[in-house]
Amino acid sequence: MRRDVRILLVGDDGVGKSTLITSLIKETFIPNIQHVVPEVTIPPEVTPENVTTHIVDSSVLYVPPTTARTENRETLETEIRKAHVICIVYSIDDPNTFNRLPVFWLPYIRSLGVNVPVVLVGNKIDLRGEDVTNQSLEDEIIPIMNEFKEVETCVECSARQPLNVSEVFYFAQKAVLHPTAPLYDSREHVLKPACVDALRRIFKLCDTDKDNVLNDDELNEFQRKCFNAPLQQQELEGVKEVVRDREPLGVNGIGLTEIGFLFLHTLFIQRGRLETTWTVLRKFGYGDDLSLREDFLLPPLDVASDCSVELSPNGYQFFTELFQIFDKDKDGALKDSELEALFSTSPGNPWRNTEFPQTTITSEAGAVSLQGWLAQWSMTTLLEHKTTLKYLAYLGFEGDTRIALKLTRARRLERKKGKVQRNVFLCYVFGAAGSGKTSLLKAFVNKPFSDVHSPTKLPFGVVNSVEIKGAEKYLVMQEFGSRNEAEILQNRKRFEACDLLCFVYDSSDVNSFSYIVNLRVCYTFCGALYMFWEMEGVDVYIPQKYDIDHLPSVFVATKSDSDLVQQRYEVQPDVYCRNLGLAVPLSLSVKERQTADLYHILTGVAMNPTIATPGSKDAQAAAWTAKQYITLSAVAAGVLLASVLGYKLVRQQSATSTGAGSIPRRDYL
């Protein structure tokens, strides 16, 4: 809700605009005031809505408009465009000023492209004859309000007595802070569709037992949340009685139905109590356009680049209770219809564009178990914490959604200490096409094995819980397909977001191991070479300014049920791993369901990274590693050749470059 309101008074000459303002400020009638009163600012503490209010008097626009002074017209149009609400004042003792409302003033404001609420103000009520009734006033005003939807209300007052002067400005404030237009169709006398959708969502969130009725406890909780006070039992019965009399389907033996809830808000609006409905909408995060506010969905959360986000105990409790509420058949799993009901207060399932529920634990019927549900949210929070923040708001988390999350310590700090305190870990899985990466991931979430090879084209991830020494951890495993692996390794932000690497090769394919070695050599070499040249003071740009060897790594040999073959590489996998100071590859067969406790090992390595981190991290060791890797493969040799040529080119240009202002070239590998 905005914290300031700018009210502009316009109208014909002599209707009392300036007198109204001075009567409000002085609380008495002041005769012989100046023609145009300077802008008045009223502090928030003295206004009913606790907002700063600016009241602006306008210069006169004479009849016909073509006779108006140019500077007056320009000033007036500027003020109209700045106003939040416009009060058009007419004089009750001068019918001509009233007649000009629909023929001049309202069309004139529209012609400027201004779309703000308008309040009609009939001044000098003390001069009106006694034969005028409220009915005759209504007969005159209603046609104007039907034609000009921007007209919020009409207020009659007297600046002389004074009478209803403060009400004029209260209704002007109200027209800005609690506008009718977004909520109610005055012509059809019904709530607008966007308002109905918002109120239905609020009803669902308040219906905590999901029986489609608000019982007395739920109504009182709703009242407490929105208005900070419960209703007495007598008041509750009175509300239900009003609904029952006017809308029989609005109440049943349990409480207030959705029909009754909507009817109550229609009644509030029709009786001019728009602030009631707006208070409800704003308590549930809605803005003036009846969409959920950005600050409600995404409150500020500063996450350092080397930190991650996890669910806090509050977050796990919320998602657990939500699961239990919507598990209507109490079978311990959410089927499609139950998931649809659960996400009915949101834009829909947040994982609809993924392979969910194949990404987590499900029942034999394919319904998501509680274990899988919590695991899926753990993965979402780790990879896209903003999605979790939004859905906490969509699904009705009570209070600040940020308390449902927690920030972890920086990864590098934890690796340096050798002990990781986080509960959710990300493992990237690399390997040649056909090496069995997808099967390995699907086995983690108990999905059936398939002999048919389907190449991975899009990134695929799974998540499951792993128990380590009595504590539940979550392991997220992602593969990218051989076409995308280089892109991931080149993306430092994504690469640094993972906790460990899993290198997979097919023990029955002679070329499978060389693929992952060449992959490692290229990126380990580039990182080490950059560090070596940085020490030498060479100005060379290399995209990979990091070394994958600072991450713990686990090697896996798949398809142990097939014939073991010698790998076409200088050394065999076990020797290669020992040279890196790592354990020999784990041999397993997904087909035979022999996974060698891999997933517990991966989680254990993520928690204790130093036990599987190859090589030294200091600069000299990094340079030595680069020299050693130069001889390991043709890939490394190609990179070395390009780097040497670039180095010589830099040297040559540095020697031959002359003249002031010359700029040394940066060379690219």
CATH code of the domain covering residue 202: 1.10.238.10
Residues 418 and 376 in one domain: no
120 has a pLDDT exceeding 80: yes
Residue 283: the pLDDT is: 96
Residue 63: inside a domain, yes or no? Answer: yes
Domains of the chain: total: 4
- Predicted pLDDT of residue 132: 56
Residues 88-97: pLDDT tens digits?
A: 999 999 999 9
The band of 405, judged by pLDDT with boundaries at 50, 70 and 90, is very high
Same domain, 12 and 122: yes
In a domain, 96, yes or no: yes
Cα–Cα distance between 59 and 597 in angstroms, integer? 83
CA 605 from centre of chain: 33
Summarize pLDDT for 26-72 with one digit per residue, the tens. Answer: 878 777 666 678 899 999 888 777 899 999 998 655 444 444 455 67
H/E stretch holding 442 reads: helix 437-444
Question: pLDDT at residue 243 above 60?
Answer: yes
Displacement of CA 303 from its chain's centroid (Å): 15
Residue 665 lies in a domain: no
HEC profile for 269-326? HHCCCHHHHHHHHHHCCECCCCCECHHHHCCCCCCCCCCCEEECHHHHHHHHHHHHHH
On whether both 382 and 420 belong to a single domain, the answer is: no
Q: What is the pLDDT of residue 32?
A: 64
The pLDDT tens digits for 185-242 are 887 889 999 999 999 999 999 999 999 999 999 999 999 999 998 888 999 999 999 9
Kindly report the average pLDDT of the chain as a whole number.
84
Residue 627 has pLDDT above 90, yes or no: no
Question: Are residue 389 and residue 421 in the same domain, yes or no?
Answer: no
Q: What's the mean pLDDT in 248-269?
A: 96
Q: What pLDDT, on the 0 to 100 scale, is given for residue 60?
A: 55
Number of Cα atoms under 13 Å in the Cβ half of residue 16:
29
131 and 29 inside one domain: yes
Q: Per the domain annotation, does 200 fall within a domain?
A: yes
Rounded to whole angstroms, what are the CA distances from 400 to 284, 555, 625?
Answer: 12, 43, 49
Q: Is the confidence at residue 624, as pLDDT, over 60?
A: no
Note whether residue 560 is domain-resident. Answer: yes
Instruction: Specify whether 163 is located in the same domain as 203.
Output: no
**What's the confidence (pLDDT) of residue 166?**
92
The amino acid present at 415, given as its one-letter code, is R
Between CA 629 and CA 528 the distance in angstroms is 10
Residue 609: φ, ψ to 5°: -60, -30
Q: Does residue 137 sit in helix, strand or coil?
A: helix
Burial class (CB in 10 A: 0-12, 13-18, 19+), 189: exposed
User: How many CB atoms sit inside 10 A of residue 180's CB?
Assistant: 21
Residue 569 has pLDDT above 50, yes or no: yes
Q: Residue 302: which residues within 8 A CB-CB, separation 6 or more?
A: none
What confidence tens digit (pLDDT) does each residue in 152-200 have? Answer: 889 999 998 889 999 999 999 999 999 998 999 887 889 999 999 999 9
pLDDT at 304: 87
pTM over 0.85: no
Residue 585, domain CATH? 3.40.50.300
Q: Are residues 432 and 546 in the same domain?
A: yes
Same domain, 132 and 279: no
Q: Measure CA of the first residue to CA of the last residue in the chain; give whole Å.
A: 54
Residue 636 pLDDT exceeds 50: no
Question: Residue with structure tokens 């549930």?
Answer: 284
Residue 16 exposed, middle or buried by CB count within 10 Å (0-12, 13-18, 19+)? buried
* Residues linked to residue 502 through DSSP beta bridges, in sequence order: 429, 554
Which two structure tokens, joined as six digits, stand for 378?
């753990």
471 lies in the same domain as 552: yes
Contacts 24+ apart (CB under 8 A), 371-377: 371/464, 371/465, 372/445, 372/464, 373/319, 373/323, 373/334, 374/316, 374/319, 374/320, 374/323, 374/465, 375/463, 375/464, 375/465, 375/474, 376/351, 376/463, 377/311, 377/315, 377/319
In a domain, 662, yes or no: no
pLDDT in tens, 442-465: 999 999 998 887 787 788 999 999
> How far apart are alpha carbons 361 and 371 in whole angstroms?
7
Q: In terms of DSSP H, where are the helices of 445-505?
A: 482-490, 492-496
Let me know whether 161 and 56 are in one domain.
yes
Give the whole-angstrom CA distance, residue 305 versus residue 91. Answer: 65
Name the residue range of residue 217's domain. Answer: 190-291
d(CA 498, CA 379): 12
Whether residue 661 lies inside any domain: the answer is no
Say if residue 136 is in the same domain as residue 9: yes
**Using CA atoms, how far apart are residues 238 and 96, in angstroms rounded to an integer?**
47
Distance CA 276, CA 184 (A): 14
Cα torsion for 574, 579, 582, 583, to the nearest 10°?
A: 30
Task: Outline where 584-633 has alpha helix (H).
Answer: 598-607, 619-630
Question: Nearest Cα to 587, choosing from 563, 570, 610?
Answer: 563
Q: What is the pLDDT of residue 31?
A: 72
Torsion of CA 367, 372, 377, 379, to 10 degrees: -120
Residue at 139: amino acid letter:
D
On the question of a cis peptide bond just before residue 162, with omega within 30 degrees of 0, the verdict is: yes
**Averaged pLDDT for residues 630-648:** 34
Residue type, 490: Q
Sequence-ordered list of residues with C-beta below 8 angstroms from that of 444, at least 6 positions apart, any chain: 462, 464, 475, 477, 599
In a domain, 642, yes or no: no
Determine contact, residues 54/90, Cβ cutoff 8 Å. no
Query: Do 513 and 462 belong together in one domain?
Result: yes
